Amino acid sequence: MSASVTPANRNPGFGILMVDDEASFLRSLSMVLERRGGYNHLYRCQDSRDALAMIAREPIGLVLLDLTMPHVPGEELLKQITEQHPGVGVIIISGLNQVEKAVHCIRLGAFDYFVKTTEEDRLIEGVRRAVEMQEMRLENQAMRRKFLTDTLERPEVFSPIITRDKGMRSVFQYLESVAPSGQPVLVSGESGVGKELIAHAIHELSNRPGRLVCVNVAGLDDNVFADTLFGHSRGAFTGADQARVGMVEQAGEGTLFLDEIGDLSMASQVKLLRLLQEGEYYPLGSDKPKRIRARVVVATHRDLEQKQLAGEFRKDLYYRLRIHQVEIPSLRERKGDIPLLLDHFLAEAATELSKSKPTVPKELAVLLDNYSFPGNVRELRALAYDAMSQHRTGVLSMDSFRRALDQNSISRDVTSEPSIAFFSPDQPLPTLQEMADMLVDEAMRRSQGNQSIASSLLGISQPALSKRLKKKADDSSS
């Protein structure tokens, strides 16, 4: 392997071992894999007797094996690899174009079979498929270990994300498992859940030597999208007096984060698909291709599966992006984080506004717990900053929160739809009085006995609720 290839920029994370007795073929195959495939974590073995020792010594995950070799024939070496190292994939690259031999090798455990004179495109695509399968296998193993032990190897990476939610912890464990992969990651979730923080965490976990470059692609037309990502050469169009380096090149060997990917036009989707599939792009006005070295992370608040079913998002691009996919839960799905986040944002706002951090009334936690937060963490932050800007001394006032969380929004899930099966057809309907009592009881339970909050949940005034509670108590005692 080249001395210039450091652990941080190896692609793939495991080694690819080429075994062939012809030194010239090993050199040409290395060049093809590096230039066409972008793979640089390569090992060469010219003597088949040394292959097993190299597999045991080096982090080999895939072997490209010739069949016709002196000393240990390729077919025998294939048997030994599959028996002694069952986790290592093997692709046969032979000078023999024999169907029976190919079928026999596949039965022995080879992943694929290629003839040396075959087009480079087929070979590169075959290696890509094998690499992706190996990466997924290794990631699944890593995920099983993490979930069984419930551990995080690098918890400090996630420290900017304030949470104690089990669902978020599972997200973190998954991200640690897929971090070494060079494949794209699709981050989905509602607006305001913190998808950019997740992109930062992925970049930190991957230990890539380049930087994180973020691009919001929403609203970019096809030409602007291409110019932003790929750049242009001097004179590419009217006004292009100087060459411009695109975001792909700026990311270098780091991470390219494309936010709001669900808003891309169909024409831009084609360009992104080519970038991911071929690993190449052309700056505007240039006929010389450049290779992408960065890992791609994309994010969206839209349902890409529904968009591709509706013909609004390319199916091939969708499946290319979702090799690794993570869904960030909304704030209403992790309400246990609300007190933590509120405390964090109030402290942050107090520092920024040069004020003392206030005492938070207990009723505020109950009020926020009964709110659906359509704007998620971003909305809670805005509420905390607004309240802090109006705060003077002592206990934090709930007035600004009450104004923002109006009666129509409290305890309403913006994505929910009314159910027509609210009552069982086999049971008699409750009376209006019984239903009213049930609603009052549930509102008092959710508000933890706070009549002000309970009346907001019910959409009635506090005196009206107090009157109902008194009447219910009188009826019970009589």
- What CATH number does the domain containing 37 carry? 3.40.50.2300
In a domain, 419, yes or no: no
In a domain, 417, yes or no: no
**pLDDT above 60 for 257:** yes
Q: Among residues 362, 386, 404, which one ends one of the domains?
A: 404
Together in a domain, 245 and 325: yes
Together in a domain, 264 and 303: yes
**What is the mean predicted confidence (pLDDT) over 26-45?**
90
Together in a domain, 121 and 237: no
The CATH number covering residue 438 comes to 1.10.10
pLDDT band at residue 271 using 50, 70 and 90 as cut-offs: very high
* Cα 414 versus chain centre, distance: 24
**pLDDT above 80 for 277:** yes
How far apart, in whole angstroms, are the C-alpha atoms of residue 145 and residue 367? 40
Q: Give the range of the structural domain holding residue 460, as residue numbers without chain letter.
A: 432-477
Together in a domain, 12 and 124: yes
Q: Among residues 329, 350, 384, which one ends one of the domains?
A: 329
Q: Taking the CA of residue 303 as centre, how many other CA atoms within 13 Å lie in the half-sphere pointing to its CB?
A: 5
Structural domains in the chain (count): 4
Contacts 24+ apart (CB under 8 A), 211-215: 211/250, 211/251, 211/252, 211/254, 211/255, 212/251, 212/254, 212/255, 212/257, 213/247, 213/250, 213/251, 213/254, 213/255, 213/256, 213/257, 213/294, 214/257, 214/259, 215/247, 215/256, 215/257, 215/258, 215/259
**pLDDT above 90 for 455:** no
pLDDT band at residue 429 using 50, 70 and 90 as cut-offs: confident
How far apart, in whole angstroms, are the C-alpha atoms of residue 420 and residue 418? 7
Together in a domain, 167 and 273: yes
Q: How does pLDDT run across 182-235, given as a tens digit for each residue? A: 889 999 999 999 999 999 999 999 998 899 999 999 989 999 999 999 999 888
Together in a domain, 200 and 292: yes
pTM, rounded to two decimals = 0.69
In a domain, 424, yes or no: no
Q: H/E element holding 190?
A: none
Q: Are 281 and 292 in contact (CB under 8 A)?
A: yes
Q: H/E element holding 199?
A: helix 195-206
**What is the mean predicted confidence (pLDDT) over 337-354?**
94
Together in a domain, 35 and 58: yes
Q: Are 454 and 425 in contact (CB under 8 A)?
A: no
- Exposure b/e, 42-73, CB count within 10 A at least 16 = b: bbbbeebeebbebbeeeebbbbbbbbebeebe
Instruction: Note the pLDDT of residue 415.
Output: 46
Query: Which residue did the predictor score with more confidence, 171 or 100?
Result: 171
Burial class, 185, CB count within 10 angstroms (exposed 0-12 / middle 13-18 / buried 19+):
buried
- Exposure b/e, 124-138, CB count within 10 A at least 16 = b: bebbbebbeebbeeb
Together in a domain, 325 and 344: no
In a domain, 413, yes or no: no
DSSP state of 71: S
Return the minimum-mean-pLDDT range out of 7-11, 256-260, 361-365, 406-410: 406-410
Q: How does pLDDT run across 68-102, given as a tens digit for each residue? A: 898 998 899 999 999 999 889 999 988 877 777 88
In a domain, 140, yes or no: no
**pLDDT above 70 for 434:** yes
**pLDDT above 60 for 413:** no
Helix (H/G/I), strand (E/B), else coil: 277: helix
pLDDT band at residue 419 using 50, 70 and 90 as cut-offs: very low
The CATH number covering residue 278 comes to 3.40.50.300
Together in a domain, 324 and 338: no
Q: Are 176 and 153 in contact (CB under 8 A)?
A: yes
In a domain, 2, yes or no: no
Together in a domain, 324 and 375: no
- Residue whose structure tokens are 């019984």: 434
Helix (H/G/I), strand (E/B), else coil: 98: coil
The CATH number covering residue 340 comes to 1.10.8.60
Together in a domain, 196 and 321: yes
pLDDT band at residue 10 using 50, 70 and 90 as cut-offs: confident
In a domain, 43, yes or no: yes
Together in a domain, 325 and 338: no
**What is the mean predicted confidence (pLDDT) over 457-477?**
78
Instruction: Note the pLDDT of residue 406.
Output: 64
Q: Among residues 301, 329, 357, which one ends one of the domains?
A: 329
In a domain, 391, yes or no: yes
pLDDT band at residue 409 using 50, 70 and 90 as cut-offs: low
